[in-house]
Structure 1
Amino acid sequence: MRRVALATVIAAVSGYLVLLIAARALGAEGYAAFAVFWAAYGLVTGTQNGQLQETTRAVRGARISGADGPRPMPLNVAVGVGLALVVAVTSIGWAGAVFEWYRIESVVLLAAGVAAFGIYAGLGGMLSGLGRWGPFATLLIVDAVIRLVLTVIAAIAGWGLLAFLVMTIAGTVSSAVVVLCLRPARTALGAGGDVRVPELARNTVTAMAAALASAVLVMGFPVLIKLTTSGDLDSVAGAVILAVTLTRAPLLVPLNSFQGVLISRFVENRDRVLQALSAPLLIVAGVGVVGAVAAWLIGPWLLETLFGADYRLSGSTIAALTIGAMAMAVLTLTGAMALAIGRHRLYAAGWWVATAASIALLFIPADLEARVSIALIAGPLLGMAVHLWAVRSRSADHVSAERDGDRPLPAE
């Protein structure tokens, strides 16, 4: 677990450095274009995090129950290749609206990265489900280091935007590096799940549907800003996108790295998930409150000092975005809890309610800073309510079953 924590710190620091280098090397407008590709890649691979989450749940469930179901990796590989084909085939309908520069290259890179991420997600899920945190931490570190090293090289060489687009997807080769170098990672590929392939596929699709909504809010938000803003993105949009990314990183980067840990924790405490939620919830709330105060006081100065005069926002805007990041982090916690107890449909519903509400709020008649802040706070609050309802309904089902003298009802 200490290794996972260290890997999370390395990934977070690496992410900050990549953003800093890209912002300074590309300028506000160039960074906006880079951030949109980064967001599009994160939108699809964030959806694929559903593969990692369900693989973790299935493998951990098999360890607890002693089940010996089929291996999840072939399904994960098939999903990655299938999504890559979907990206390539459908790009004719959306690439022109999303990518302003290097449209063909962006589509090719995006499809290649998505295919490779299917393997990455499957490996990460099996390592998490087996509790092999050392190799899992190595997977995170190698991914972060590859991306950072290539970013530094691109900036020093002055290669421009296209090189930064290549760097975005390059970290996915970390799965191949880890499998080749670590025997525990190779043996993890043979781990089985607790359900048969059809049910595993249904659960994976449901988890990915929820992860898609999560990805829209977490990684794909710059794309929504682009689609809900008339004209090209200006320096204000670039500043807002950068601030959203920076305020989220201290909370969401660690949480994303700890998804396997969280789901394993909740699976092992299925009968008292609210108690299991309390500790990570207090940590997230504490970090969020301190971060919001700091953002109000020194956020504007820090943004302009580190990234330049083009990146100018008020302290209240940066503080509001930090509160929105805290709301997203809590929604991530409650979502992991709902998934772990087998409420797959309500898990997905919570994320989609949050996403739909946030998208709708981006259309309110207000300036960009206000629209984004309101959307990122109010949407996740509604999604949390759905996830908490999932826990309450499961408790009610178990109470009813025990009162009637029956076995507890199965998960969805």
Structure 2
Amino acid sequence: MSGRARLARVQLHRLSGAALVGVGMVVLGAAAYVFLALAGHALAPEGYTAVASVYFVVAIVGPGLFVAVEQAANREVSARAAAGQGIGPVARSASLVAGGLALVVSAALLALSPVLVDRVLAGSWALLVAVVVSVLGAAAVYTLRGLYAGARRFGWYSATLGAEGLGRLLPCAALVLVGSAVPELFGFAFVVGAGFAALLTVVGMRGRTGAHLPSPPVDRVRMGREVGMLAAASGLTLLVANLAPVVVTSRLVTDAATAAAFASLFVLARTPLFLFGPVQALLIPGLSAAAERGDRATLRRLTGLALGLVAAVGAVGTLLAWLAGSWAARTFFDAPVPMPGGIAAALCLGTVGMMAAQILQAVLVALRSSRTATIAWAVGTVLYVPILFLPIPPVLAATIAQVVAPVVVVGLMVVGVRGGVRRMAPALTPVAGR
């Protein structure tokens, strides 16, 4: 097979992988919205609020923390696959690290249980148990996703997404059909999705993952440290992505209409970010393989293509936000007052910055520079929070914060990526067809 034919085959595989992951993400995202809609119609307001709180806590625990396990496992498997090694040691080590993180998170939830149960979960200890169950499921399914993504088995990766969505949606639909109005049952119906996905898709590990190939042991201390740093980075990302509407609402207690309109516009501007997470799973294998080979050209090319795509989509999205953002907020969320087009465009620009930061974080993971990503998000957060409370109109302060923080994070990550690329050993072998 010629080099050009091999390159075309690799590109086709990447496109098909992206399509499969996209389908799984759509199923998972749609299931979340349908779950909330069904629960809203079936439960009384107090019960629905408690179940919605379970939804948000689970979202923080899963994408917010255990995605770090996925990224670390993805990077390690990708590097070993590039070297022709097996993934058995990675699977064992990632499982142990994920289990340790699950114990830490569960202990933290139990320590916070008096506050969570009384103020968040409507006094239901059963819902707290449901949240802890979700931690165990997240530990399992995000470990599998890291292994599948690193081995470029995107069909199975997509299956974990789709199975998690269906595992949430089907039990909830059954509760609606039988006329149940018990919040605890809806809570458990939602949290079993991740565990269901792990049980259903673990069989994929028996296939062509390379688990049978010889491979050196994994430094579990280093992997645990990397997961900790990535989890910290993810937590700070969630803070920057979600704190502004809360602060604006707290500062506009006498102007609830403006606060509600800003929150609606903010949710619209952030929508692409919620769908962007799996892009890292697609990028890390190719980036890690290039880093393992010392192939600076390929690493730069993949990074440039991803950032160029974000810039192109972001430019169109920012223009649309300027022209129609306020209309969309009124149409889809019944925003009570119009918002300036400049605010909508700036919020969209901030989202573009955060998407760029996610791409650069994937590059840093591939370069084994996770600490740089954590430092970048920490510095961005340190700047972000004070800006939210500047003595200027709250909406303006929040909008400035949403632009400044991502710009700072991206700038620091660019510096880190350049330094990491310079430290890469030069490629020693041809890389045609990789």
TM-score, with length taken from structure 1: 0.79
Corresponding residue of 2:134: 113
The answer to whether the Cα contact below 8 Å between 1:22 and 1:164 also exists between their aligned partners in 2 is no
C-alpha change, 1:311 and 1:227, in structure 2 (3 Å) is: closer
Corresponding residue of 2:432: none
Partner of residue 350 from structure 1, selected from 363, 366, 376: 376
Corresponding residue of 1:40: 57
**Equivalence map 1:200-349=2 (5 Å):** 200-218=223-241, 220-221=242-243, 225=247, 229=251, 236-253=258-275, 255-270=276-291, 271-272=296-297, 273-308=299-334, 310=336, 313-349=339-375
Corresponding residue of 2:165: 144
The answer to whether the Cα contact below 8 Å between 1:323 and 1:377 also exists between their aligned partners in 2 is yes
Amino acid at match of 1:178: L
1:62 partnered with 2:88: no
The answer to whether the Cα contact below 8 Å between 1:296 and 1:318 also exists between their aligned partners in 2 is yes
Partner of residue 222 from structure 2, selected from 199, 209, 221: 199
Give the C-alpha shift of residue 13 in structure 1. Answer: 6.7
Secondary structure (helix, strand or coil) at the match of 1:195 reads coil
> How large is the RMSD of aligned CA atoms in angstroms?
3.9
| Distance in 2 separating the partners of 1:181 and 1:356 | 44
| Range that drifts further, 125-134 or 83-92 | 83-92
Secondary structure (helix, strand or coil) at the match of 1:205 reads helix
The answer to whether the Cα contact below 8 Å between 2:260 and 2:335 also exists between their aligned partners in 1 is no
Partner of residue 53 from structure 1, selected from 68, 71, 80: 71
Give the C-alpha shift of residue 21 in structure 1. Answer: 7.6
Secondary structure (helix, strand or coil) at the match of 2:283 reads helix
| Distance in 1 separating the partners of 2:259 and 2:207 | 42
| Distance in 2 separating the partners of 1:101 and 1:231 | 24
| Range that drifts further, 11-20 or 115-124 | 11-20
| Distance in 1 separating the partners of 2:135 and 2:374 | 21
| Distance in 1 separating the partners of 2:379 and 2:123 | 34
Secondary structure (helix, strand or coil) at the match of 2:112 reads helix
Corresponding residue of 1:410: none
Give the C-alpha shift of residue 236 in structure 1. Answer: 5.0
Partner of residue 123 from structure 1, selected from 137, 144, 147: 144
**Equivalence map 1:167-178=2 (5 Å):** 168-178=190-200
Per-residue CA deviation, residues 125-172 of structure 1 (Å, 9 max, x unaligned), is: 011111111111111122233445566677886959777755653431
| Distance in 2 separating the partners of 1:313 and 1:161 | 36
| Distance in 2 separating the partners of 1:136 and 1:184 | 14
| Distance in 2 separating the partners of 1:249 and 1:333 | 17
Identity of aligned residues (%): 21
Give the C-alpha shift of residue 302 in structure 1. Answer: 2.8
Give the C-alpha shift of residue 100 in structure 1. Answer: 7.6
| Distance in 1 separating the partners of 2:207 and 2:261 | 40
| Distance in 2 separating the partners of 1:160 and 1:294 | 42
1:83 partnered with 2:83: no
C-alpha change, 1:41 and 1:83, in structure 2 (3 Å) is: same
Amino acid at match of 1:379: A
Which structure: larger Rg? 2
| Distance in 2 separating the partners of 1:26 and 1:367 | 34
| Distance in 1 separating the partners of 2:169 and 2:321 | 26
Amino acid at match of 1:43: I
| Distance in 2 separating the partners of 1:6 and 1:153 | 28
| Distance in 2 separating the partners of 1:108 and 1:234 | 34
| Distance in 2 separating the partners of 1:232 and 1:161 | 33
Per-residue CA deviation, residues 159-202 of structure 1 (Å, 9 max, x unaligned), is: 59777755653431343343366464797888978632222222
C-alpha change, 1:396 and 1:250, in structure 2 (3 Å) is: closer
Amino acid at match of 1:176: A
| Distance in 2 separating the partners of 1:325 and 1:55 | 27
Secondary structure (helix, strand or coil) at the match of 2:368 reads coil
The answer to whether the Cα contact below 8 Å between 2:27 and 2:165 also exists between their aligned partners in 1 is no
Give the C-alpha shift of residue 339 in structure 1. Answer: 1.4
The answer to whether the Cα contact below 8 Å between 2:264 and 2:335 also exists between their aligned partners in 1 is no
| Distance in 2 separating the partners of 1:227 and 1:389 | 36
C-alpha change, 1:383 and 1:154, in structure 2 (3 Å) is: farther
